[in-house]
Amino acid sequence: MARQPDTSITLILGGARSGKSRHGEALIAAHPPPWTYVATAEAWDDEMAARIALHRARRDTRWRTVESPRALAATLEAAGETPVLVDCLTLWLTNLILASEDVSAATEALLAVLAARRAPTVLVANEVGLGIVPEHRLGRDFRDAAGVLHQRIAARADRVLFMVAGLPMVVK
C-alpha cells in the first residue's frame, strides 16, 4: 500500500526569542532532507543582517535557503514536495504593507498554495497582539492585519503551537 505524503501545515506563534525558529527547524528536520528554509527578512540595517547571519549559521548543508520577502505563495509553489519552513509570516506581512501590496490578495494566494502543497510546511509568526495598543495608526493597522493573517492560517493549519520560553504549547 502506497504511503500518503505528509501534507501537514503547522503554525508556530510566539513572542520574540521564544524559540519559534528553532522549534520549526526541528519539526522540519524530522523529515528526510533536503529541506527548504524560506526567509522573508530583509537586512535593512547591520543588526538585522547579524540576526540573519546567526540563523543561517545554525543550518547545515541539507537546508536550501530561499529569500522571499514578498513572493511567498510563488516560492512555496516552486518548493514542490520539499519540506518547508517559512520564517516568518510577520516579516512577510511587514514587507507587503511597506510595499503597498494587497495583503488580502497575497493571503488568499498563500492559502491556496498551502491547500495544494504535498509536503510538510511549518510557518513561524510573531504574536504581536498581546502587548499594549500601538500609539500610531500604522502600528495598529499592522497588529490588526497580523491578527487576521494568523487566524486565517490557523484555521487552515493542522497544528498550531504557541512558544513560551522555548516550550511549545499545543493550541490546535
Q: Quick check: bond before 120 cis, omega within 30?
A: no
Q: What is the pLDDT of residues 118-160, one digit of tens each?
A: 999 999 999 998 888 899 999 999 999 999 999 999 999 999 9
Q: What is the pLDDT of residues 49-91, one digit of tens each?
A: 788 788 777 888 899 999 999 999 999 999 999 999 999 999 9
Q: At what angle do helices 103-116 and 89-98 cross, to 10 degrees?
A: 140
pLDDT in the model for residue 2? 57
pLDDT in the model for residue 131? 83
> In a 3-state reduction of DSSP, which class is residue 51?
helix
Confidence of residue 3 (pLDDT cuts 50, 70, 90): low
pLDDT in the model for residue 50? 83
| pTM for this model (two decimals) | 0.92
pLDDT in the model for residue 123? 98
Residue 150 annotated among the catalytic residues of the structure: no
Instruction: Exactly one of 31, 55, 136, 150 is catalytic; name it.
Output: 55
Q: What is the pLDDT of residues 29-60, one digit of tens each?
A: 999 999 999 999 887 788 877 887 887 778 88
Query: Please, what CATH class does the domain formed by 24-170 belong to?
Result: alpha beta
